[in-house]
Chain A
Amino acid sequence: MSNTSDFISNLAAKLGRPTPTQPPPQVKLSVPQYQLSSSAERVSVFLQNWQALGGKGAIVRSEDETLQCLKQWFGEQPITWFKENSKALLAWDKLPTIAESAFSSLNWPLTRYSQSAFDPRDRYSIAASAELGITGSDWGISLSGTVVVKSDPLRGRAISLLPPRHLSFIESTKIQDNLFNVLEEVAALGSPPAAIEMISGPSRTSDIEMDLSIGVHGPIEVYVIVIDH
């Protein structure tokens, strides 16, 4: 194994100069970026692209609309799920207020992933048996129909990964035109969180005869609710 200074000085020798002590000048970037003119357009394009990838999406303006939307999408299913598994709905410790109150009015109890078990492996099993994982999103990207989620001690990465369905809530103001704008905000965090997950639609593969198949590992159904205050 090499030590760092030997490894780096070998590269400097290959490049024929000493290793710079100052950061190299940044490359000038002037690519034309995708831009939309209004927040309404941003939301609408975001939802269009999300749906084109196979996700379901809706805009809500009140707790009542959220509740109606959840009922429309999931109907009586959660009641059936709860008969088999009391931890069928797995969520972050804290969801946007509108989501918390909608689930509570529906009387669909949420299991909080981070507190669901002491041992991580038990938490994974709970997540793998859950029917629906519920998260918020920190950003959205219109151009690609993507939700972007940061990791955090009160959240949990497996919620958007192990259950067969993932539902995410996003504030309309968090939706950006393109990835560049999102990454600018990530860079502004200084030190990024342990994981930032960008999710564009359900899990997919075309590895067998180029035939598209949904849900080989991650969620099979994905839902997004845009909260527009």
Chain B
Amino acid sequence: MTMYNQTTDERVDKALANSFLRQATRRATDRLRNNKYKASAELGNWEEWRAAGEAIRKNVISNLDYYLNQLIEQMEKRGVHVHLAKTPADAVTVVRNIVSEHNAKNVLKSKSMISEEIHLNHALEEDGIDVVETDLGEYIIQIAGEPPSHIIVPAMHKTRQQVADLFEPIAGHALSSDTPTLTRFVRTQMREKFLRGDIGITGCNFAVASTGSIVMVTNEGNGRMVSTLPRVQITLMGMERIVPSFRELDILLNLLARSATGQRFSSYTTILTPPKNTADPDGPEEYHLVILDHNRSEILGDKLFRSSLNCIRCGACFNVCPVYRQLGGHAYGSVYSGPIGSVITPLLEKDWKKWGHLPYFSSLCGACSEACPVRIPLHDLLVKLRMRKTQSGHTPQVERQIFKAYRYFFTREKTLRRALRLGAHLQRPFVRNQRITGGPPPLSNWTNSRTLPMVAPKPFMQLWADLKNKR
């Protein structure tokens, strides 16, 4: 987890200096974005689908207690073990205990952002468990020891040669770096693991409250393997991942697949209503559902940010964000990157010192809000988060002084006039082509990488006065 130890500036510099990363990020996000445009245009009335998606998510979130209770009742009625985890540490403990009760050695995982959020692999590896990510992209970054750089394409930042280099020590021989060779290697390698997995851990795209069903989408089929073969299954879900019934599921599955990859549906959409029927020849006999809060209830109680819980984790906002497209995911430093990551990370982690930079990873252009299939006003939430950060007193000393000075001058007309006249003189040594460049700190913090407009020789107030006199 190397990037967690670096500062924001270090991560950003590293990303900007990595031309493959930047090229790969642009290529991948272009592709995903264009596929989404096609898939959404095909539905004919995308805006109506978005409006319906938003209405469904709003209804769920504003009745989350009712639906969650219904889901738990349905699950427990059938013998599913439901665990409610307040914190990431609670969720890790639940999983550790289940693994140790079964004396399990081989744990298979299909993609789960919650498991990234609670840093589960690390904990299980400490216990000596062989825990394997089975999604190809997740497997690559697990070997590399890195967090995902995109919510849908987690190893987007790796070249095929880097992937081959990561696989070679496992294969024990040289591997060609063409995609078919690499995927064939993973198919063979993973097959053995699938067949001897003791416990399967999956994520959850949606949980249907009325029937107590879990919906999972994958393209590779690893989600099906992990939820079909091991005798024991654990599903990790964020507590907001609910849909009231099958009636609403249609809309959300259409929005999710089309927004994420531009597919009509992912290759595999699985609706589990666990555990298996005792007479079924396969499927898990024992099923655990771990429902994580991790400050989601705080977000629920905060009307300004409640809508961030509407997210369906499609990644569409990543693919249109000018900041993400320049930097990729690792520069953010957080498990969830992109615009939605910048919104939810400070709220989930409640640590402005560590995550206060995230609301500023945005040009506020609003492309994210436009791309969001459930119409979360992401750029608006980012502005409000900046406000929240300022209110909490976590802005740097320099920034506070600058705004104090701003308030001082702009509430005193005469002083402002004098200051502008003085500024017009003082700026002279730094003006090139009518822009301010260079200068001492704190000015240089800005001018090192950009220019500032110069103070006009004749300030606006003077121009205005002249205009009045002429009349």
A199 at interface (Cβ–Cβ under 8 A)? yes
Closest to B73 in A: A4
19 contacts between A and B (CB under 8 A): A2-B85, A4-B69, A7-B68, A14-B297, A15-B65, A24-B63, A31-B49, A31-B52, A128-B195, A146-B264, A157-B280, A187-B245, A198-B265, A200-B268, A207-B155, A211-B179, A216-B183, A216-B220, A218-B267
A120 near B273 (CB under 8 angstroms)? no
Min distance, Cβ A85 to any Cβ of chain B, angstroms: 16
Question: A103 CA to B276 CA in the complex, in Å?
Answer: 30
Query: What sequence of 0s and 1s flags, for each residue 263-274 of chain B, a beta carbon within 8 Å of any chain A beta carbon?
Result: 111111111111
B283 near A213 (CB under 8 angstroms)? no
B281 near A113 (CB under 8 angstroms)? yes
Q: Which positions 114-170 of chain A face chain B at CB distance < 8 Å?
A: 114, 120-121, 123-125, 128, 141, 143-146, 151-153, 155-158, 161
**Which 10 residue pairs of A and B lie closest in terms of their CB atoms, listed nearest first?**
A218-B221, A14-B301, A153-B279, A207-B137, A144-B264, A11-B65, A198-B269, A180-B250, A114-B281, A183-B246
B412 at interface (Cβ–Cβ under 8 A)? no
A62 at interface (Cβ–Cβ under 8 A)? no
Question: A124 CA to B281 CA in the complex, in Å?
Answer: 10
Question: A146 CA to B250 CA in the complex, in Å?
Answer: 14
B86 at interface (Cβ–Cβ under 8 A)? yes
- Which A residues are in CB contact (< 8 Å) with B247? 26, 29, 183-184, 187
Q: Which of A12, A32, A192 contacts B211 (CB 8 A)?
A: A192
A30 at interface (Cβ–Cβ under 8 A)? yes
Q: Tell me the total A-B contact number using a CB cutoff of 8 A.
A: 269
Question: A197 CA to B65 CA in the complex, in Å?
Answer: 29
Q: Which positions 23-48 of chain B face chain A at CB distance < 8 Å?
A: 24, 27-28, 31, 43-45, 48
B90 near A194 (CB under 8 angstroms)? no
A19 at interface (Cβ–Cβ under 8 A)? yes
Closest to A207 in B: B137
A217 at interface (Cβ–Cβ under 8 A)? yes
A56 at interface (Cβ–Cβ under 8 A)? no
B228 near A143 (CB under 8 angstroms)? no
B244 at interface (Cβ–Cβ under 8 A)? yes
A215 at interface (Cβ–Cβ under 8 A)? yes
Most chain A CB inside 10 Å of its own CB: which residue of B55, B136, B246: B246
Most chain A CB inside 10 Å of its own CB: which residue of B68, B90, B211, B267: B267
Q: A121-B195, A197-B268 are in contact. Are A191 and B273 (CB under 8 A)?
A: yes
A193 at interface (Cβ–Cβ under 8 A)? yes
Question: Taking beta carbons and an 8 Å cutoff, which residues of B are in contact with A?
Answer: 24, 27-28, 31, 43-45, 48-49, 52, 55-56, 59, 62-69, 72, 82-86, 90, 93-94, 134-137, 140, 153-156, 158-160, 163, 179-180, 182-183, 186-187, 190-191, 194-196, 211, 213, 219-222, 224-225, 227-229, 231, 244-251, 253-254, 261, 263-277, 279-283, 293, 297-298, 300-301
B225 near A217 (CB under 8 angstroms)? yes
B300 near A151 (CB under 8 angstroms)? no
Question: Taking beta carbons and an 8 Å cutoff, which residues of A are in contact with B?
Answer: 1-4, 7-16, 19-20, 23-24, 26-32, 34, 49, 53, 113-114, 120-121, 123-125, 128, 141, 143-146, 151-153, 155-158, 161, 178-180, 183-184, 186-187, 191-211, 213, 215-219
Classify the interface of chain A: helix, strand, loop or mixed.
loop
- Which A residues are in CB contact (< 8 Å) with B137? 205, 207
B65 near A19 (CB under 8 angstroms)? yes
Q: Which of B59, B220, B280 contacts A218 (CB 8 A)?
A: B220
B280 near A14 (CB under 8 angstroms)? no
B187 near A217 (CB under 8 angstroms)? yes
- Which A residues are in CB contact (< 8 Å) with B68? 7-8, 11
B297 near A178 (CB under 8 angstroms)? no
Closest to B91 in A: A1
A198 near B268 (CB under 8 angstroms)? yes
Q: A125-B195, A151-B276 are in contact. Are A187 and B269 (CB under 8 A)?
A: no
A187 near B301 (CB under 8 angstroms)? no
- Which A residues are in CB contact (< 8 Å) with B49? 31
Question: A105 CA to B62 CA in the complex, in Å?
Answer: 60
- Which A residues are in CB contact (< 8 Å) with B83? 1
- Which A residues are in CB contact (< 8 Å) with B183? 205, 208, 213, 215-216
